[in-house]
A and B are shown apart, each in its own frame.
Chain A
């Protein structure tokens, strides 16, 4: 089958099965709306990120500046570590004075080496405990103090109705996709059987319908994604999803559209004999 025929069939099939293709696009739109909506509602309902935890490693008295710098470098490369700062004995004393405020008079007369030099590590809360244990085992570390961040109180999920709505839309969308593909298959079945009987390969028989179904799927996915973004912004006050997430989600749905269409339009070779 030549390109001219392919184009002719694309235009003809698009015209003849326009309603079924429109229904398919809308069905994929609902699925995409639900998928993007689920992510957006999840973002809106997510608890605020917990603050970072602090781990303070007090160094042995005999640790020289070179060893302290090496430890600082090693710690900075560990997973979960966000920042490392070397705190000298004097800096430590000054910070303690600052923290005590008016009661800093209790420190009058103490020497600058009251406190041991330390390394102050800012880490992710989830990694802080493991990090503290690992720090305690390092040579040159005398003591470890974990100032862990309290977990944020779990707010009641105010987005529950939205979640339910999105799940319902997703289920209905998938059902609509199956129904629209079944209608398209029923409308095309005789035609595809005939193409097979007159000598077209199965791939060539199905190609225009598959492309049209794919185009409908892509249009639907784009429409649904844009609709979900708009709805989330208007109703939930949530900004757009990151571009990478949008691209991955859309690609996944397009792949779904392709395979669903391919399965639905698979006409057995024997149908040519019908």
Chain B
């Protein structure tokens, strides 16, 4: 794997047609990574029941997304699903677990406690308000607790991110797709067209109206009036 990532782009890309090979390798690696995300079973509280246990069970099945193998050791996991409240006593352990995971690693913050502290945000002396104060988060899944279907939405968003975002040309950089967050019925070209229209409208000048708005316009008009009435 290291050979492909380090040496291949530099050797193959200068060859005419080499970028096709590099993008195909990109595509293959991203497909493999996205379709076999192994979660680290890190659940502290109620979200763990819905996110890790209910989704692992038969009714909502996590293994149809390739994520069935929930490892308990960070050395063998790709994705850390932070399901539950993180408190100050637990925070150093969370950071340790994150650092023990091997690259490429992803973090999904599920549940409102992991996103922002949740119901315990105010008046609690022991809570960490959001797990993104400790580890960099890729996907946020809101809910208290989120339904297992919401967890799958988050998983699919992460899969989309991986398939679109990473490239062996720039290993370690991830591009979060804006496209995954768009609401229904809106596409990127719609947004582009609307921005262009608004800019044009802002920059349009109707000369006659602009002239009327000047302070000397009133005096000119009055002078014309006096001239025409004088005649």
Partners in one complex: no
